[in-house]
Amino acid sequence: MKCILAIMSILGMSYGTMMAAEPLTLKDAISKTFRAEVVSGIRPLEATSDYTRISDDEKRVESYSFKTGKRVAVLFDLENLPTLDSFDDYVISPDGKRLLLQTNTQAIYRHSFTAEYYLWETDSKTLTKLSANGPQQVPTFSPDSRKVAFVRDNNIFITDGVNELQVTSDGNKNEIINGIPDWVNEEEFSFNNAMAWSADSRSLSWLRYDELDVKTYALQMFRGENPARDEYADYPGEYRYKYPKAGQQNSTVTAWTYDLQQNSMRQLNVPVDSDSYMPRIIAVKNPASAVVVATMNRHQDILRYYRVSTLTDECCMLIEEKVPCYVKEETIENTVFTDNHIILPSDRDGYTHLYLYDKDGTLIRQMEKGEYDVTAVYGYDEKHDCVYLQAALPSPMERSVVRVDSHSQQVITPQKGWNGAIFSSDFNYFISTWSDSSHSYVFSLCNNRGKQLRTILDNDKLEAQIEEHNLPHPEFFQFTTSEGVTLNGWMMKPVDFDATKRYPVIMYQYGGPGSQQVTNSWRIGSMAAGALFDAYLTQQGFIVACVDGRGTGARGAKFEKQTYLCLGELEARDQVETALYLGDLPFVDKDKIGIWGWSFGGFNTLMSMSEGRPVFRCGVAIAPPTNWKYYDSVYTERYMRTPQENADGYAVNPIQRAENMHGTLLLCHGLADDNVHPQNMFEYTEALVQADKDFRELIYTNRNHSIYGGNTRHHLLRQVVNHFIENLK
């Protein structure tokens, strides 16, 4: 489960000066009215100091110099091409001479989509369809740039742009999947492409998911609107897909390879139990006829990387990572394989740090250390023995880009706030991205020591545009609970705040393992985008507050993993403690505090309102899990193990606490939520009915976990606002 903020659009806005202001409307607060500008589609070109990007008018793919920031070439232009009038994204070949232009994109789940791709030859200026036989998924260039592998209808194909070869034929919906992950692996291991070429371009390897024995979940579908589904115009139907719940049967995953020279296919020799995971298959350069396969046991506390030959039965374990409780998903996301080295993130010493191995898996050294977490790895410059990373510095609420060599480490983005980077392939330059809780995104060109060479893009115009609304800034604070736990939070007060008055408070939270809502970044706020929706709430006379409780991220393994085996217990206590702390402030009306959240935040809302201390007058839970046995196997078992192993932990849930629910409750759910099924809400509302508890319930037809489409998001958030106005004002 990912924080709902990960899948919301970046709306973008900065705060204006204190002046007579036009009130912000709800539509403006949640629409693209104040959308921030960003530099999109950045791709560093291999073995150069250049990068490619989509032009500001979204009509061209252009290359730029990292060194000068100037445009080098136009690789593709829609002008005078009657075949295409737009494109959504692109894939560039390793040699930079071929482009795949993504069009007619249709989303499937969180990461997956189908699209129709066009192949553009930059030398000959020719454009052809990648395949005339239907939309494709995850097109992947071979290292020699001559071939493209892709998935269609759960089968793998390879084309050179003229001839199309079907590699697999057993793929079938809800049965066998080749080259892309099943629902739960895509969602919880955050990947979409399960194919990897060997470096010599001779072999293509992939993961195969057999989900025949996985139980099916059916979502009820109606015609609806935006979009209308005419196939359900007279009778409702079902969307059926495989969804393994906690403790239930998972897909059986195996690794396969196809030898283009021999026209032969075989299973790779990867040692793995039948109920284990293969969360990645990885292309490596050395040796040229191998790939790397990651495996993980079902408890997810042992991660192994195997180097597997695509030509023989040779399989060698490179690294085995064992840590208490569970291996974090970010460990897999941030592992780096270079020509001769492997960099592994690990929290084995209590914080996430980087460990350098040679290509055969021999540990060389820990690359850096300290009481902070590494949160991203940008790459390793083998020539200079230097790694570039992002770390939660100077505080857990911020991020810095850091350069680390064998002798020293240097923060190369000194400005406080949220810093990220995209490095050139030679690591001589990077594009920095910066924001803080009051300023939207700034893109700058820097050298690898952090010297800023030029500003590529800022959002000064946006900040000037919204000055007329006179919005408040988030204020950061800390407090210590009665259990002696120090927690970080932010608070937003009305712009005309009067310390002699007592204000009602709306608490927003998420609280899932490893998540963060209290960040000095433009992502701050319940709907992100500089807390613009929360600023709207302050205009209605509320104080808005948010606190990251125990189990949240960037404060080390001990803080994050203490909720292991009992999700919801400590998290709810910390939200209640937050309400008690806020209620003691002289400008807060302690009898008028509400709480809300989405997804895990909805679960935490219900747990907090039934914790036993009646501190919340009202609350809103959107798309909440209500019993972890209803949620997917990978996420739930990572933190809870199985219901069979941890019955006591699973018994701590909102359904079991229904009789203790205190406060006026609004429940909201999308009827087509493929992530947190409507089953969660229906079972919970039945428990509330039997406990004789009053509540309101909103169902959104054909809407998924994000609950959007047409006027849906506006309607949903208007109900949230009205619920708090009715119960707290």
Q: Name the DSSP letter for residue 467.
A: G
User: Which pLDDT does position 9 carry in this prediction?
Assistant: 36
With respect to residue 24, please indicate whether it lies within any of the assigned structural domains: no
- What is d(CA 147, CA 160) in angstroms, rounded to the nearest whole number? 4
With respect to residue 676, please indicate whether it lies within any of the assigned structural domains: yes
With respect to residue 432, please indicate whether it lies within any of the assigned structural domains: no
User: Which pLDDT does position 184 carry in this prediction?
Assistant: 99
- Judged against a pLDDT cut of 70, whether residue 19 lies above it is answered with no
- Judged against a pLDDT cut of 60, whether residue 5 lies above it is answered with no
With respect to residue 542, please indicate whether it lies within any of the assigned structural domains: yes
User: Which pLDDT does position 80 carry in this prediction?
Assistant: 83
With respect to residue 442, please indicate whether it lies within any of the assigned structural domains: no
> Residue 1: which pLDDT band, with cuts at 50, 70 and 90?
low
If you average pLDDT over every residue of the chain, what do you get? Answer: 95
- Judged against a pLDDT cut of 80, whether residue 8 lies above it is answered with no
- Please give the residue range of the domain that contains residue 273: 167-211+249-322
- Phi and psi based region of residue 84 (left: phi greater than 0; alpha: psi -120 to 50; beta: remaining): beta
Contacts for 189 with CB less than 8 Å, ≥ 6 apart: 181, 277, 279, 280, 329, 332, 634
Boundary residue ending a domain (322, 357, 386): 322
- Judged against a pLDDT cut of 80, whether residue 611 lies above it is answered with yes
C-alpha closest to that of 519 among 550, 484, 554:
554
Q: How many CB atoms lie within 10 A of CB 661?
A: 22
- Judged against a pLDDT cut of 50, whether residue 158 lies above it is answered with yes
CATH number of the domain enclosing 544: 3.40.50.1820
C-alpha closest to that of 199 among 282, 261, 315:
282
User: Which pLDDT does position 10 carry in this prediction?
Assistant: 33
With respect to residue 262, please indicate whether it lies within any of the assigned structural domains: yes
pLDDT tens digits, 582-609? 999 999 999 999 999 999 999 999 999 9
- What is d(CA 425, CA 448) in angstroms, rounded to the nearest whole number? 12
- Judged against a pLDDT cut of 90, whether residue 298 lies above it is answered with yes
> Residue 378: which pLDDT band, with cuts at 50, 70 and 90?
very high
pLDDT tens digits, 205-252? 999 999 999 999 999 999 999 999 999 999 999 999 999 999 999 999
The token pair that represents 443 in the structure block: 């893109």
pLDDT tens digits, 433-451? 999 999 999 999 999 999 9
- What is d(CA 59, CA 87) in angstroms, rounded to the nearest whole number? 8
> Residue 21: which pLDDT band, with cuts at 50, 70 and 90?
confident
- What is d(CA 89, CA 563) in angstroms, rounded to the nearest whole number? 40
User: Which pLDDT does position 465 carry in this prediction?
Assistant: 79
pLDDT tens digits, 383-400? 999 999 999 999 999 999
Could you tell me how far CA 690 lies from the centroid of its own chain? 37
What secondary structure does DSSP assign to 320-381, as a single string?
Answer: EEE-SS---HHHHHH-EE-SSEEEEEE-TTSS-EEEEEETTS-EEEE---SSS-EEEEEEEE
Across 253-260, average pLDDT: 98
With respect to residue 567, please indicate whether it lies within any of the assigned structural domains: yes
The percent of residues above 70 in pLDDT, for the chain, comes to 97
User: Which pLDDT does position 13 carry in this prediction?
Assistant: 34
User: Which pLDDT does position 181 carry in this prediction?
Assistant: 99
Size of the chain, expressed as the number of residues it contains: 729
**According to the 3-state scheme, what is the secondary structure of 524-538?**
CCCCCCCCHHHHHHH
Across 621-634, average pLDDT: 99
The 3-state DSSP class for residue 573 equals helix
Number of domains the chain contains? 2
Single pTM value for the model: 0.95
- Specify the residue for token string 């204020």: 475
The token pair that represents 678 in the structure block: 């409507």
What are the Cα distances from residue 350, in Å, to 114, 512, 656? 41, 19, 34
Contacts for 527 with CB less than 8 Å, ≥ 6 apart: 5, 8, 11, 29, 30, 533, 534, 717
User: Which pLDDT does position 20 carry in this prediction?
Assistant: 57
Boundary residue ending a domain (296, 322, 348): 322
User: Which pLDDT does position 187 carry in this prediction?
Assistant: 98
User: Which pLDDT does position 132 carry in this prediction?
Assistant: 94
Across 472-483, average pLDDT: 97
Across 285-297, average pLDDT: 97
Boundary residue ending a domain (274, 297, 322): 322
User: Which pLDDT does position 578 carry in this prediction?
Assistant: 99
Rounded to 5°, the CA angle 75-77-78 comes to: 150
Q: How many CB atoms lie within 10 A of CB 409?
A: 18
With respect to residue 337, please indicate whether it lies within any of the assigned structural domains: no
The percent of residues above 90 in pLDDT, for the chain, comes to 92
Q: Say which amino acid occupies 72.
A: V
pLDDT tens digits, 540-587? 999 999 999 999 999 999 999 999 999 999 999 999 999 999 999 999
- What is d(CA 6, CA 585) in angstroms, rounded to the nearest whole number? 32
